[in-house]
């Protein structure tokens, strides 16, 4: 997952993640990419469009 610089770590992405793969730190998001099932709910709900699926992976 690409977390763009304008992410403000509000955690809405983590709230809708069915797999619970997102850890929201004060100034950082950590994704457990192995467990991610690619539903993209996190990308969809981000209020500022800061998340992008890294299609290379």
Token pair 């192995």: residue: 34
Query: CB count, 10 Å around CB of 14?
Result: 17
* Cβ-based nearer residue to another protein, 33 or 48: 48
CB of 5 to another protein, least distance (A): 14
Site for another protein in 34-53 (CB under 8 A): 41, 44-49
DSSP 8-state symbol, 38: -
Site for another protein in 10-39 (CB under 8 A): 10-18, 20, 22-26
Contacts of 32 (CB under 8 A, 6+ apart): 19, 21, 22, 23
The footprint of another protein (CB under 8 A) covers: 8, 10-18, 20, 22-26, 41, 44-49
């Amino acid at each position: 997952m690409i977390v763009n610089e304008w992410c403000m770590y509000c955690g809405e992405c983590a709230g809708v993640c069915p797999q619970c793969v997102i850890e929201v730190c004060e100034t950082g998001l950590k994704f457990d990419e192995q467990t991610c099932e690619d539903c993209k709910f996190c990308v969809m709900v981000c209020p500022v469009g800061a998340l992008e699926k890294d299609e290379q992976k």
